Amino acid sequence: MLNSKRRALYIIMALIVSDVCVAADTETKGTKPNKQHEESGSQRVDLLHQQVIDLSHTFDKQTIYWPTEKGFQLIPEKAGITEKGYYYSSNRFLAAEHGGTHLDAPVHFNENGKSVDKLPLQQLMGEAAVIDVTAACRRDPDYQISIADLRAWEEKTGRQLVDVIVLLNTGYSQHWSNRKKYLGTDQLGPEAIAQLHFPGLDPDAARWLTEHRAIKAIGLDTASIDYGQSTRFQSHVTLFKHEIPAFENVADMSRLPISGSMIIALPMKIGSGSGGPLRIIAWLPNKNQHGASRKPR
């Protein structure tokens, strides 16, 4: 049994998470809360009874980075018993901003965009809308998630992609331990870029999301929000023009329902950073939790 202090701490955390998420609903792009949000706003995230899932890959020497990057380096410094009799250990690490499970801040492809330390916390937490495109990506490693895929989620849920964090589940997280399968190549250096093959978001779908919907952020379980063969990175450009951050190399999403889970995605707060390592977690909804729905227009 949890002692009283730990129980109180969990309850306080739950209230903070729920209140921030509800407040963010009314702030995203100046939209007004609709009936759906008013009804769901009375729900609380119950950390005592909801399962938490880690959607982050571990950072170590196997962590996948872009072919032109050196990757993650953990440099041991001290480990052992000190002269005063207690154990002490410390390390240093070296890493590019963009690699492993990480966040792309708008300034990554937008000169006037927000850096990672300037992103509002409200954009980094909220309900997840999980778009399952695993079947299509098994057939085509260069698959680009389309407007039709996004609208299919709306048809299934009876809701619009508004005030949510969109997570694109391509199924590629299962290849994380195999660099060649995950990226399409295990080569390194600039020459490897042309050999990249993995799914991403179609630029038309990125434009549709920014012009006709109002999402908080978007993420996927591949190395880039643009598919591997992209040379102009139009989805990056479009999303970041509208200050929508992207999460890349998200870990296994197979246990997430298409709606109802709550996400917190907190990157390292790097001043003026174009991105940074990301710890992203999800709370699964209670089985008896039912949100109100509305038909998409």
Query: How far, in Å, CA of 145 to CA of 258, rounded?
Result: 16
| pTM (two decimals) | 0.84
Beta bridge partners of 129: 166
The verdict on residue 80 lying in a domain is no
User: In CATH, what number is assigned to the domain containing residue 60?
Assistant: 3.50.30.50
pLDDT score for 286: 78
User: Is 88 contained in some domain?
Assistant: no
Mutual orientation of helices 203-212 and 147-157 as an angle, nearest 10°? Answer: 50
The answer as to whether 290 is a domain residue is: no
74-89 pLDDT tens trace: 999 999 999 999 999 9
Tokens read off for 195 = 């050999």
Number of domain units in the chain: 1
Q: 295 in a domain, yes or no?
A: no
Q: Are 294 and 34 contacting, i.e. CB atoms less than 8 angstroms apart?
A: yes
Contact 23, 122 (CB under 8 A): yes
pLDDT, tens only, 197-251: 999 999 999 999 999 999 999 999 999 999 999 999 999 999 999 999 999 999 9
Is residue 90 situated within a structural domain?
no
Helix and strand totals (H; E) in the chain: 7, 12
CA triplet 252, 62, 175: central angle to 5 degrees? 35
Residue 288 is assigned to a structural domain of this protein: no
Specify whether the CB–CB gap between 104 and 275 falls below 8 A.
yes
Q: What percent of the chain has pLDDT over 70?
A: 80
Host domain of residue 137:
4-70+97-283
In a domain, 42, yes or no: yes
Q: Does some domain include residue 296?
A: no
